[in-house]
Amino acid sequence: MSSQSIWLLGASRSGKTSYLVAEVAQWLDELTGEMSEALLKPKLFPGSILVFAATGDNRLGLSEQLLRATEGRGALTVTTPLGFFQQEVSLFWTLIAQKLGLQVAIPLRLRPETEQMLAQRLWEPYLDEGGFEQLGTSRKRQVRRGLDLLQLAGAAGLAPEAIAQRLQTGLSPELLQPEVAELLQVMLLQWRDWCLRRGLLTYGIVLELYWRYLLPDPYYRVQLRRRFLGVAADDVDDYPAISRDLFEVILGLQRRGLFSFNPEGKIRLGLNADPDALEGLCGCCEQVIELDGPPKGLVASLAQPMIELAVNPTYLMQLPASVPSLQTVARSQLLRRVGEEVARIVRDGSVSPAEIAIIAPGLDAIARYSLERILGGHGIPVRPLQVQRPLFSNPRIRAVLTLLPFFYGGLGRRINRDLVGEMLVMLSQNPQRGERGTLQFEIDPVRGGTLADACYCPNPERPELLPAQSFAGGDRLGYRATRAYEQMRQWIEQMRSQISAGAIASPVVLLDRIIGQFCWYRDLADDQREALRELLETASHFWEIEARVGGDCGSGTLRDRPVAEAVGEFLTLLQSGTVTANPYPLQPRQPEAVTLSTVYQYRSNRLAHRYHFWLDISSPLWLQGGASVLFAAPIFERSRPLPYDAETRQQDDEARLQRILKDLLSRVDEQVILCHSDLAVNGQEQTGPLLALANASVSINELPLTSSP
């Protein structure tokens, strides 16, 4: 196989991924043609082709395309940059441990919520002294931003020992005091060393271990050459800077490469990505191919005038009919009008729900709930993208967690009568009652509240559920509610007996039994399945960490703390709202739905639709990076001139806005409806940079509003 490498340049939807898939399939054909018959057996295939996607969701789609194109022949390793670095550090942990003198045989990766919990526990003395207000008003935010710095440094290939200098050079004292930067470096080094001694890996630590110790190692490079026959990476403009170091090493091993790059992409810029650093990889490729076919969507006709309207207040023009506007005074009216307009075009039969996307720079719970309720009232399903709701906001999850204090002593103060009443209702489901897709409860909210008031016996050490017969007015509960309550109470007693006998060794096992007994059934909705799966994944991970560190707070001595104490900390973790329902993704069972998404999630998933509704077009969030830009992220870009001042920040915001407009216009085929309300959800007037677009568009005719469902 030829070692000539390709740099593939193209805009959104220009065919880069299809080209990559076809090229990888051709590589496999060439490889199989060069091998002898003995090597055609899968177990003897001498290595694989390494294929990268920017995110986990992109990886799933790319894997499906490659599977269809190659018909399953050959060996492919499809991964993401962060996934690959983590896999390699775990695989070659023995080599790293020898270099660093570590005694832990098997590493364990920390999830973000446990990382934050343990770091906050370790940094408690520093946080008590204060001085970190520039990082955020809450301790949770201060800890998260501090940990993000370690991840940003690792992605850039910058040693943690140089973080303070980078912060002092790049940020003004108004953004971060120099002494705070020095203290942050001390805390991060303490955290890194504490984790390494216990074999705990975070993304920041994984990135440092890979670029600093593993990639330069001669033995590891020999293994790279033996294991991988080529590398193909899609959308490298969303990769961390150390990915370029990896790709250069692989190309230097005389392996073939293909890298696609979108100059107007850069979706993850501010989230560890360094597109300027990756663009320099073009010089390592012998062939540069630019996909310059006809642009997809409305970008060719609308990008230039829209950008002019956004950045030039004096620019005057009228947008065409393909960009109408929908304008109201209040945001509540706007949400109603958007829902009614979507329902109208679906009802007309010209557009299916799957061809419509509602996109906003930030989706609050009010907008999400309102649109789901309005469209659901018209029989139109809605598919929100990666909502990230806290697990504890789910009533079914709260019910499961409310049950735990009945089994472990000393946790009675964590529950109250309201939570117990909700638990009795949510755990009394009967899937045999009701039609398919509906859920009936044996205990309704009124009876649940009555039982909680009459039969729940609060106790800090051991709360109890008294028999229904102890309630003087028990005859008013009804047969179904009484039976369901007594079955639940007896089941609790059975589990208590098994815990006492040692038959249930871990709270994870107990949680699994609770879910299997009360919560899981065949027609459970996708979002409920995700929440329950995430609860079990979180619990399993939490007790893995518990077995590794226990109550260690940095002293270096492990102690086996009581199970109830660990359960209490687990409940605190869930109740803080840090954990969200985001388990390993599954294919949704309801694809024919209106897509509801933030701008970042929509672009990150590389979606496209016939119709776009751009919600809150006049919001200032269109210009701001928001949650898609980590604190101090720009100063960790390799080619970034320092210091990073306000003027540079404004230029970055404007450049991001232009990329967003071009990218979104490439992803809509027929019409963009600009949705504007004079007042935001907090009552303030909205005068964001894209307000000029709404003013330059033709308004949709007034629609008769219906009453709220």
What mean pLDDT do residues 182-192 have? 96
pLDDT at 530: 85
For 425, phi then psi, to 5°, come to -70, -50
pLDDT at 405: 95
pLDDT in tens, 339-353: 999 999 999 888 999
The top-scoring range by mean pLDDT among 91-95, 325-329, 426-430, 439-443 is: 91-95
Instruction: Considering only residues 577 and 162, tell me which one the structure prediction assigns the higher pLDDT.
Output: 162
Say yes or no: do domains 6-90+211-290 and 299-388+588-695 share a fold. yes
pLDDT at 701: 59
**Per-residue pLDDT band at 703 (split at 50, 70, 90):** very low
pLDDT at 36: 47
pLDDT at 431: 63
Nearest to 45 by CA among 3, 66, 75, 72: 75
The answer to whether the CB of 610 falls within 8 A of the CB of 356 is yes
If you ran DSSP here, which 8-state letter would residue 580 be given? B
pLDDT at 432: 59
Range from 147-151, 396-400, 478-482, 702-706 carrying the lowest mean pLDDT:
702-706
pLDDT in tens, 527-546: 788 889 999 999 999 999 98
**Per-residue pLDDT band at 37 (split at 50, 70, 90):** very low
- In single-letter form, the type of residue at position 665 comes to L
The token duo for 650 is 């404004």
Task: Using alpha carbons, list the distances in angstroms from residue 309 to 304, 313, 545.
Answer: 9, 6, 53
**Edge-to-edge strand order for the sheet containing 228-233?**
76-79, 48-52, 228-233, 256-261, 6-9, 287-290
What mean pLDDT do residues 67-74 have? 83
**Per-residue pLDDT band at 551 (split at 50, 70, 90):** low
Task: Please report the sign of the dihedral spanned by the C-alpha atoms of residue 398, residue 399, residue 400, residue 406.
Answer: positive
The answer to whether the CB of 662 falls within 8 A of the CB of 265 is no
Q: Kindly report the three-state secondary structure assignment for every residue of 63-116.
A: HHHHHHHHCCCCCEEEECHHHHHHHHHHHCHHHHHHHHCCCCCCCEECCHHHHH
Q: Which position has the token pair 């990505």?
A: 273
What mean pLDDT do residues 444-456 have? 91
pLDDT in tens, 41-63: 544 446 789 999 999 889 999 99
Architecture of domain 6-90+211-290: 3-Layer(aba) Sandwich (3.40)
Q: Would you give the end-to-end CA distance of the chain in angstroms?
A: 64
**Cβ neighbours around 669 below 10 Å, total:** 15
The answer to whether the CB of 633 falls within 8 A of the CB of 271 is yes
Question: What are residue 508's DSSP bridge partners?
Answer: none
Question: What are residue 441's DSSP bridge partners?
Answer: 429
pLDDT in tens, 363-404: 888 899 899 999 999 999 998 887 777 888 899 999 999 999
Task: Please report the sign of the dihedral spanned by the C-alpha atoms of residue 95, residue 98, residue 100, residue 101.
Answer: positive
Instruction: Considering only residues 422 and 385, tell me which one the structure prediction assigns the higher pLDDT.
Output: 422
Q: Which is it for strands 429-430 and 356-360: parallel, antiparallel or unpaired?
A: unpaired
**Per-residue pLDDT band at 35 (split at 50, 70, 90):** low
pLDDT at 385: 85
CATH topology of domain 299-388+588-695: Rossmann fold (3.40.50)
Nearest to 607 by CA among 550, 563, 667, 558: 667
Q: Kindly report the three-state secondary structure assignment for every residue of 373-440.
A: HHHHHCCCCEEECCCCCEHHHCHHHHHHHHHHHHCCCCCHHHCCHHHHHHHHHHCCEECCCCCCCCCE
CA distance 53 to 21: 12
For 390, phi then psi, to 5°, come to -60, 140
pLDDT at 43: 44
Domain boundaries, the chain: 6-90+211-290, 109-198, 299-388+588-695, 391-575
- In single-letter form, the type of residue at position 124 comes to E
The rounded mean pLDDT for the chain is: 88
pLDDT at 705: 36
What mean pLDDT do residues 233-246 have? 96
Q: What percent of the chain has pLDDT over 90?
A: 64
Whether 30 has a pLDDT exceeding 90, the answer reads: no
Q: Read off the pTM.
A: 0.90
**Per-residue pLDDT band at 479 (split at 50, 70, 90):** confident
pLDDT in tens, 196-235: 999 999 999 999 999 999 999 999 999 999 999 999 999 9
For 677, phi then psi, to 5°, come to -125, 140
The answer to whether the CB of 667 falls within 8 A of the CB of 598 is no
pLDDT at 704: 38
Three-class secondary structure of residue 19 per DSSP: helix
The answer to whether the CB of 324 falls within 8 A of the CB of 698 is yes
Alpha helices in 427-478 (DSSP H): 445-455
pLDDT at 584: 56
